[in-house]
């Protein structure tokens, strides 16, 4: 049996303000008819709505003609589409081939283009086999928000309700004045066997974020491939659970990160993952804390080099933050080599370059040892100092006794196996 179209229930796709009431009623009727019965379709056109249709049972797919021809324009502060599985029916649902735009006077504080909710308060097997394909999104706080608000089971252990076998393929969020904060966000763990492929997301905070760090929040078996994430604080954020829960088997392959301000990939408490063939511009890099047994490219060895942004400091004593770094403890001693060269240092403390070279190693915790060949050469009144915070080593340039303005300018080069670093 053919799936119904919203136009069968009186929807009008001419983009007019006078069509809102008819479209709200038609979309609600289509969602009621399609829930548990295969879903419904939305033809090409511009459909203005003010309230989201709510899908209440699985086996429901919402399908447009194409994201270039089917556009939903909403003023809802909640969402354009809601999947709410309070009454069961947790599998085979999704939305594809359309675009969603928010057109309200203010940006929704917690709104989403697509909001998936599992409000079961008894153990279930969670949600599975959801698909989100070829979608254009503009305006709300979240592109796709997955909110568990219930309990599930993970290998017999009560767990925050998870989402398994989910596919996100081709989500496009263009730059706009109402930045979307998150492309895809799981409020808790995403479950297993999920893929995130293709698409271009220009967002404010993170392209994809998952996991809340709680003990029962699994985030294993995730594949990220061919994503392009721009302008965000973070590209991909994964907060693993307490050790002993599911936190393994993540692959990030062939992704591009541009204009990321803090970290292209940020992970906590994860292991057995790979980051392959990824590129970034703008200076951000990996932020991998309390992680182990991972590879950052095919060989596990790579180099990073960046220029210290010229900075000017006044007279007296000054501490200049440079960068911080962490390495995989399983790699052992001498896994990372760091070279720091400060070209310019003036201001009554001499004009000699500051050079520091050393290895990172692990022996019951992180520690650094300078090379025997050239331990430390500093200018008068300047030194490289280090501190260890949460297993990460932070590097600073300390200047003392400056009688006039100091200018700091130089380069840092890092070479090694399975490390992450970021500027301070």
pLDDT of residue 156: 47
Q: How far apart are CA 233 and CA 175, in angstroms?
A: 14
Four-residue CA torsion sign, 166, 170, 175, 177? negative
To 10 degrees, the CA torsion angle through 195, 199, 204, 205? 10
How far apart, in whole angstroms, are the C-alpha atoms of residue 118 and residue 152?
10
CB 217 within 8 A of CB 241: yes
341: left (phi over 0), alpha (psi -120 to 50) or beta: beta
* Nearest-angstrom CA–CA distance, 370 and 146: 48
d(CA 16, CA 30): 20
pTM (whole model) above 0.85: no
The predicted pLDDT at position 227 comes to 94
From CA 245, how far away is CA 266, in angstroms rounded? 19
**List of residues 6+ apart from 393 with CB closer than 8 A:** 324, 325, 326, 360, 366, 368, 386, 387
Q: What is the pLDDT along the chain (424 residues), one digit of tens a residue?
A: 688 999 999 999 999 999 999 999 999 999 999 988 899 999 999 999 999 999 988 889 999 999 999 999 998 888 999 998 766 656 889 999 999 998 866 666 678 999 988 755 444 456 778 899 999 998 888 999 987 654 444 444 444 445 678 899 999 998 765 678 999 998 876 667 889 999 999 999 999 998 877 666 678 789 999 999 998 999 999 988 765 556 778 999 999 888 888 889 998 888 888 888 888 876 677 888 777 777 776 434 445 555 665 556 555 677 778 877 776 655 555 567 777 776 655 554 455 566 777 766 554 455 555 443 344 444 456 677 777 776 677 888 777 766 566 666 677 777 766 667 777 7
What pLDDT, on a 0 to 100 scale, did the predictor assign at position 288? 81
Indicate the DSSP class of residue 5. Answer: B
Return all residues near 140 (Cβ < 8 A) that are at least 6 apart. Answer: 79, 80, 100, 102, 107, 108, 111, 112, 113, 180
Dist. CA 83–CA 166, nearest whole Å: 14
Compute the radius of gyration of the chain from its Cα atoms. 25
Torsion of CA 201, 203, 208, 211, to 10 degrees: -170
Which residues in 328-391 belong to E strands, given as ranges? 336-344, 354-362, 366-370, 376-377, 382-389
d(CA 207, CA 228): 9
Nearest-angstrom CA–CA distance, 148 and 261: 29
Q: Can you tell me the distance from the alpha carbon of 229 to that of 231, in angstroms, rounded to the nearest whole number? A: 7
Q: Give the residue among 342, 335, 302, 340 at the shortest CA–CA distance from 324.
A: 340
Residue with tokens 């000054």: 318
């Amino acid at each position: 049996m053919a799936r119904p179209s919203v136009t069968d229930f009186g929807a009008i796709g001419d983009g007019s303000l006078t069509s809102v009431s008819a479209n709200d009623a038609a979309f609600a009727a289509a969602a009621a008819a399609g829930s548990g019965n295969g879903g419904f379709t939305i033809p090409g056109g511009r459909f203005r709505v003010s309230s989201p249709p709510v899908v209440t049972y699985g086996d429901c797919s919402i399908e447009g003609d194409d994201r270039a021809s089917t556009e939903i324009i909403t003023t809802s502060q909640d969402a354009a589409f809601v999947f709410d599985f309070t009454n069961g029916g947790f599998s085979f649902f999704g939305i594809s081939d359309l675009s969603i735009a928010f057109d309200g006077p203010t940006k929704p504080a917690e709104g989403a283009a697509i909001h998936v909710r599992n409000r079961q308060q008894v153990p279930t097997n969670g949600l599975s086999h959801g698909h989100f394909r070829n979608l254009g999104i503009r305006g709300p706080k979240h592109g796709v928000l997955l909110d568990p608000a219930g309990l599930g089971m993970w290998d017999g252990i009560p767990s925050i309700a998870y989402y398994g076998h989910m596919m996100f393929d081709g989500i496009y969020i263009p730059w706009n004045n109402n930045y979307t904060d998150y492309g895809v966000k799981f409020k808790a763990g995403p479950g297993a066997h999920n893929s995130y492929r293709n698409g271009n997301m220009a967002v404010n905070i993170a392209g994809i974020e998952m996991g809340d760090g709680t003990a029962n929040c699994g985030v294993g078996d995730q594949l990220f491939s061919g994503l392009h994430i721009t302008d965000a604080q973070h590209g991909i954020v994964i907060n693993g659970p307490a050790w002993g829960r599911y936190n393994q088997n993540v692959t990030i392959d062939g992704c591009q990160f541009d204009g990321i301000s803090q970290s292209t990939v940020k992970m906590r408490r994860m292991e057995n993952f790979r980051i392959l063939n990824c590129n970034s511009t703008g200076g951000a890099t990996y932020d991998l804390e309390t992680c182990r047994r991972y590879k950052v490219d095919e060989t596990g060895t790579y180099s990073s080099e960046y220029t210290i942004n010229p900075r000017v400091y006044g007279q007296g004593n000054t501490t200049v933050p440079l960068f911080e770094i962490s390495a995989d403890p399983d790699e052992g001693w001498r896994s990372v080599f760091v070279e720091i060269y400060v070209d310019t240092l003036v201001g009554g403390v001499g004009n000699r370059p500051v050079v520091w070279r050393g290895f990172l190693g692990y022996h019951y915790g992180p520690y650094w040892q300078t090379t025997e060949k050239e331990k430390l050469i500093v200018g008068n009144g300047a030194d490289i100092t280090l501190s260890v915070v949460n297993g990460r080593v932070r590097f600073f340039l300390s200047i003392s006794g400056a009688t006039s303005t100091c200018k700091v300018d130089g380069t840092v080069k890092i070479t090694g196996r399975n490390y992450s670093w970021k500027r301070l």
